Amino acid sequence: MSDQLKYVVQELNKSPLNKSFNLISFDSLNSEQLLQVLTDVLALIDTSNKVDIRTEEPEQTTIRILGMLRVLKYKPGPETPASVFRQGLVQGDKHIIHPILEWLFQNMEALKKRAYLSKYLVKVEVPPDKLADQDLAALYEQYENLIEDFKAVHKESEVLKKSANSIAELRTDIEAMEKEKEIVLKRIERMERKIENLPTRDAMLEAAHALRLEREREKEMELQKHEQQTILHHTEQRAQRLQKQLKELRQSAVGATPKGLLQRLEEETNVNTYIVKQKLPKEIEMKKQEVEILQNVASDASLGRGDLETLNRKIQEVNNDVNQLVERHLAMNDPVEDKLAPFRQQAAIIGRKKESAAEQLRELKNRLSSLEANIQEKQEKLKEFTGERVLREEEFKQYVNKLKGRSALYKQNRAALSALKAEAGVLTRTLELLNSKNEALLRELSVREAQHGVLGFRATEERLEEVSSEKADVDQEKGKTLEEMSSVVVQLTQRIASRKALLAPIIKELRPLREQCQEVTTEYEQKKQIYDSTAAGLESTTAKIEQEVRALKDEINSRESQIALLEAQCNMTKVKLEMVSEEIQLYVSSTPADKNKSMREKLTNLINEQEKLSRQLKEEQRTVKEHQTNHTRQMKLWSDLQKLMECKKRCHQAALENSGVVHREKGAEYWSSTKN
């Protein structure tokens, strides 16, 4: 319902309507506004519907819209009866108008064409008694001939339009091909000018010719390869089907006996015989009847309200006759004395069971064929994606086992890698700590060197190498300093060793903690995967439940609207029943004054008056037919007299023009010339 509203609102907001609706404002329109919107949309199809319904009577609005929908051949859904549809359209019910608007927007171009043709193809209804007049019958026949001529001319115009489009396309193609031809010729000329002075021109031309031939041969080989691959694909599919059939036959043959096989074949034969001889002929006959009914409906003219009422009355009469015949048959044949009744009932039950079983078998076969087609499609898609053939059951099992082994090996290697990464992290952290401590010790050493006036051990060695000639003089002075430095280095080395000894048990304690951390991490990942899958399942389930809730709400709304409609129909039926009861009371009452007030008496009097008027009209018609010959003869005499007088008038005017004198004597006229 929401998709329908969105589509209708989008189309209404487009040009040329240019409405400014949204879902809420459009859904909150009252009945009069909805009918005006429907009228505006119909005006896009046929301009005769461009009216303001506020200046139009409600009955005229309903008749106009129903007539337009009949011309456009709109059919409401099977769940909407005709009476409910008409009543909803009169009341401006949105459940009736929204589907109409959606259908109109979806088929706008075709409906415009149909509305244009309806102006000339929908015949004017003339009562049969009026066609008794010869002039009117001739005019109506001429009218029908003109309709047929219009059909032929319209078909020719459509063919010409299509041919004109195709001719224009051919012209554009020819122009494009000529341009391409000119471009190719220019390229050939340029290439000839380039190679006309080359000494190896002939050899190059031969090589180019050979290259072109080889490329054409390559294309042919590719086509052949593609054909062979297609044939191979079909052959593999056939082989798979045959293997599947063979497998099914082998499975069915396991534990089977000749008697069981014969029994199964007999059952299949009986089922196929029943389907071919009983079920399919009935279905074919029903389809033929439906086709015949549809052909009759399509060939007949469009029915009006009077025709529908006549058909409903005939249907009711036939149903009454059938009920009377059934009651008469039951009265004549006592079911207690009928000894074949139980057997008939059993035969009917068995027939119904057969039909239901055959229908179930047909549905299962259709489902099996659809599943096989789906499997085939999935296999083809898999082959397109992977480029490999689809594995069989045994190969697939082997492939799964191989994957399981690789998965276990992958998990082991991944665990070892994660352990190595964790240990590398710990060692890196330890190294960083040791480096930081080493830097602190070096800073402390530099501070002590500065305090003792020494630039450092390495700097001292370099200085000693540079000034080796001067060392001998100051060896005694610096001996004490070097001894002190060596003692400081020994102390630092001892302190580093002691710190390493302190760190060793901490590292040993960290190793089981790392393993425990790794186990917790894997467990966390597994739990997280389970949580993600569970959350996804819950989300999908919640979405389905929400969708079901929305569907149930829509169904509740539709049911409530149906309840309101049924209540209104019940009230109308009660009013009609009260009118019928009053009519019966008036008809049963003994006083003639009360009887005269009843509708039956009024209708009887009206029928009698119409019958009297019909007899009078028939009498007048008979009188007119009796005097028709005399009146026709008299009219002919008068027309001859009129022609004679007109001839005399023309002669008189001609005589005056020739300047003669007209003499009248004894009722006669003659002309004499005065020129002599």
| Residue 49 CB contacts under 8 Å (≥ 6 apart), including other chains | 39, 42, 43, 64, 68
pLDDT tier at 647, thresholds 50, 70, 90: very high
pLDDT tier at 187, thresholds 50, 70, 90: confident
Task: Find the mean pLDDT for residues 421-441.
Answer: 79
More confident call, 72 vs 223: 223
For position 457, what pLDDT does the model report?
45
DSSP H stretches of helix in 196-304: 201-253, 258-274, 280-299
For position 478, what pLDDT does the model report?
45
Q: Is the pLDDT of residue 331 over 60?
A: yes
Task: Find the mean pLDDT for residues 236-240.
Answer: 84
Percent of the chain with pLDDT over 70: 79
B/e letters for 86-113, b = 16+ CB within 10 Å, e = fewer, are ebbbbbbbbebbbbbbbbbbeeeeebee
Per-residue model confidence as pLDDT tens digits over 347-381: 777 777 777 777 888 788 888 888 877 777 777 77
Task: Find the mean pLDDT for residues 574-602.
Answer: 72
For position 221, what pLDDT does the model report?
92
For position 458, what pLDDT does the model report?
47
Per-residue model confidence as pLDDT tens digits over 124-179: 777 777 777 777 777 878 888 887 888 788 777 777 766 655 666 777 888 888 88
For position 49, what pLDDT does the model report?
79
CA–CA distances in Å: residue 362 to residues 264, 271, 287, 375: 18, 11, 17, 20
Q: Is the pLDDT of residue 206 over 70?
A: yes
B/e letters for 486-517, b = 16+ CB within 10 Å, e = fewer, are eebeeeeeeeeeeeeeeeeeeeeebeeebeee
CA distance 519 to 427: 20
What is the fold, at CATH topology level, of the domain defined by 2-122?
Answer: Actin-binding Protein, T-fimbrin; domain 1 (1.10.418)
For position 250, what pLDDT does the model report?
77
pLDDT tier at 256, thresholds 50, 70, 90: low
Mean pLDDT, all residues of the chain: 76
Q: Is the pLDDT of residue 674 over 50?
A: no
Per-residue model confidence as pLDDT tens digits over 58-79: 778 888 888 888 888 888 877 7
pLDDT tier at 82, thresholds 50, 70, 90: confident
CA–CA distances in Å: residue 640 to residues 121, 635, 636, 645, 654: 43, 9, 6, 9, 21
Percent of the chain with pLDDT over 90: 2
- Cis amide bond preceding 281, omega within 30: no
Residue spans per domain, the chain: 2-122, 203-241, 268-300, 401-470+478-588, 595-626, 641-672
Q: Is the pLDDT of residue 593 over 60?
A: no
Per-residue model confidence as pLDDT tens digits over 544-571: 888 888 888 888 888 888 888 888 888 8
Q: Is the pLDDT of residue 53 over 70?
A: yes
Q: Per mean pLDDT, which range of 57-71, 299-313, 384-398 is the poorest?
A: 384-398
CA distance 671 to 655: 7
Q: Per mean pLDDT, which range of 21-25, 60-64, 142-146, 507-511 is the poorest?
A: 507-511
CA distance 589 to 600: 13
For position 665, what pLDDT does the model report?
54
| Greatest alpha-carbon span in the chain | 194
